[in-house]
Structure 1
Amino acid sequence: MDTVEAAVELYGLEPEQFTAARNQFAMSARAAGAERTASAIMALRKPTITAWLVNQLVRTDPDGIHALTELGEELRQTYLSADAARRRELTRLRHELVSGLVRTARERAAGGRRVSAQTAERLIETLDAALVDSGAAQLLRTGQLTSGLRHVGFGIVDESGDPAQLAAVRPRVVRRSNPPDRAESRRITSRPGRTAERRTTVDRTLQDRRNAQRKRVDQAEEDYAAAEAEREQAERVLDAHQHRTADLEADLVRLNDQLEQTRETLRQVRKQTSRLQSAFNQAARNAAAIKKRRDTENQRLNKLDG
């Protein structure tokens, strides 16, 4: 495996897999006696999260990336011409395309990872940089970014603010043809058919994205209608249960009142029972004493009679 092949594979990996895979590729190259290749592989930098997302976009949505670079080329041509109407139209398409690519990054390229607002902003800056600068566009198409890009007054910088290295690198991921060099670009863009072809490509890609977005909107409407019907049914069930709960709570209050009244009645009956028990005990003692006296008197009478 040479350095170019290693780079294509490495920059398609998950960020946490990059370092171990790079070290393994370098070790294999060194074991094969390719010391220069091993050193070149070890010099490959691990991408930032923003750069990794862009690299994944190149792999998951090459048509979108191709449309982006074509749109950027046409935009740059309009600034050299007097076609202000087309420039305004392309500017509107620019926002649609960049928003669509960011959405694709969130849904597919991120592979289930959460894309923070800050990362999304850096992703937009990187895509905008590719629209503005042809060198940034070519670097983006390689799918081997190590840092997000940003266009400032004097050129393109990376996430650290340092000037970005925009040396030409042959794209190895996007399946469409490579951007032409400057000399060839001057010859090609001078042909009327080339601009029309680029315009058709950009418009067709954006139309496809609009159609896909309409389908997503229609599906979302269907999902919302189903969810709303489910919510209404749940609301009806909840309302019935709330009424039932209110009835039971009212019954509980009534029964608690009855229970308290019963407890008070029971306390009064117990007090009365206690008093009656005392009276009974006293009557029993009196009866026992009288019975004893009666028995004594009977004994005395029996003695006199005898």
Structure 2
Amino acid sequence: MDVAAAALELYGLPPDEFTAARNQVAQQAKDAGDNGSSATLKALRKPTLAAWLANLLVRSDPDGIAELTDLGEQLRQAHVARDGRSLRELTLRRHGLVHKLVIAARTQARAQGHTVSPSTEQRLIETLDAAVIDPGAAQLLRTGQLTSALRHVGFGVVDETGDPAQLTPVKPRVVRSSPRKPPAKPPRKATTRRTAQSAPATAARSRRAELRTRAEQAEREYAAAETERAQAQAELDAHEHQLADLKATIDRLTEELEQARQLLRDASRRTRALQVELNRTTRNATIAQQRRDAGQQRLADLDR
């Protein structure tokens, strides 16, 4: 049995279908006499809802996930180059893309009958942010086989329990972009047009339309507020990067200043030592000159 292919398919299933499907595949492998594959499949962990949402995005929008992880590389390069303008622009793009992906995941989950709570949505945002910050987290996300949401905590990436993030115990396969097939349209059901409608039915439809309009307006207001928040977050991130750069520059200049002071102290000691040596050699030269002059005078006296 191709365990990697089976795992990839399993992690594309909703969490409430995962366990039964995993056990069935593991049993099939056992029935075929492949006990090793059966044990490996049986050990696969059920994904949390946030992890499933991330896996869902990898499958439904691989190009968006690729754009997100590529953006992380661009941000790292801009940070190394200390390019403040690029950092601000890329950070704004990052928040906009994360917001877009989260909305897409929430919409797809709702279509499959799953409600995404604010806490689950926050875990998904943290997962996407971790993939931007950490190349290892980006690789974990691209496999489409997360079992837990990810979070970057400064020294690495952890899962929802706070433990270091681990991939599934099978060799990961990266889900790549592929042409999308249009969804099959359900057969149109025959309807009978009613020539007259009751007043309660009309009122109910009017009420639903009103609620739908309110919901759409609320969604637009939320999107506008989130965009404004993302812009503020982008500005804050850019200034934090600038602050970190300035602190690093101060540390570097402080170290260079201390090194220069040490060189100055060493040079001063060497100068004093050379001055002492010069004084000694000058005295020796003076004494030697006096001896030479005295010898020449004695020779001159003998010649008279």
SS at match of 1:127: helix
How far residue 21 of structure 1 moved from its aligned partner, in angstroms, is 0.7
- Could you tell me whether the CA contact under 8 Å between 2:109 and 2:116 is conserved in 1? no
Structure 2 counterpart of 1:158: 159
What's the counterpart of residue 33 of structure 2? 33
Letter in 2 for 1:120: E
Equivalent positions of 1:1-306 (< 5 A) are 1-110=1-110, 111-165=112-166, 170-175=172-177
Measure the CA separation in 1 of the matches of 2:42 and 2:15: 16
Which has more helix, going by share of residues? 1
Mind listing any 5+ residue stretches in structure 1 that lack a counterpart?
177-222, 229-306
Structure 1 CA distance for aligned equivalents of residues 29 and 77 of structure 2: 45
Shift of the 227–11 alpha-carbon distance from structure 1 to 2, 3 Å rule, reads closer
Deviation at 1:172?
3.6
Rounded Cα–Cα distance in structure 2 between residues aligned with 1:10 and 1:159 = 20
Distance 1:105 1:169, change over 3 A: same
- Counterpart CA distance in 2 for 1:142 and 1:173 is 6
CA contact (8 A) 1:139 1:166 kept: yes
Q: Number of residue pairs matched?
A: 181
Question: Would the aligned equivalents of 2:53 and 2:109 in 1 still touch at CA under 8 Å?
Answer: yes
- Contact in 2 for aligned 1:136/1:166 (Cα 8 Å): no
Question: C-alpha offsets along residues 212-254 of structure 1, whole Å, 9 cap, x if unaligned?
Answer: xxxxxxxxxxx99x969xxxxxxxxxxxxxxxxxxxxxxxxxx
Structure 2 stretches lacking a partner, 5+ long:
179-208, 215-304
SS of the equivalent of 2:151 reads: strand
Q: Deviations over 1:245-300 (max 9, x none)?
A: xxxxxxxxxxxxxxxxxxxxxxxxxxxxxxxxxxxxxxxxxxxxxxxxxxxxxxxx
Contact 2:146–2:167 (Cα < 8 Å) also in 1: no
Cα distance in 1 for partners of 2:60, 2:18 equals: 19
Offset of 1:133 from its aligned partner? Answer: 0.5
Q: Pairwise CA RMSD of aligned residues?
A: 2.3
Secondary structure of 1:174's aligned partner: coil
Task: Report how far residue 163 of structure 1 moved.
Answer: 0.9
Q: Which moved more, 1:61-70 or 1:92-101?
A: 61-70
Classify the secondary structure of the residue corresponding to 2:165: coil
Separation (CA, whole Å) in 2 of partners of 1:227 and 1:83: 44
Q: RCO greater where, 1 or 2, for CA within 8 Å and sep 6 or more?
A: 2
Q: CA–CA distance in 1 between the matches of 2:152 and 2:35? A: 37
Q: How far apart in 1 are the matches of 2:22 and 2:213?
A: 48
For 1:51 and 1:148, the matched residues in 2 are separated by 5
Q: Which amino acid aligns with 1:45?
A: R
Q: Whole-Å Cα distance in 1 between the matches of residues 120 and 60 of structure 2?
A: 18
Offset, 1:112? 3.6
Q: Secondary structure at the match of 1:107?
A: helix
What TM-score comes out, normalization by structure 2 length? 0.56
Q: d(CA) in 2 for partners of 1:116 and 1:13?
A: 19
Q: Distance in 2 between matches of 1:19 and 1:227?
A: 39
Q: State how far apart, in whole Å, the 1-side matches of 2:86 and 2:172 are.
A: 31
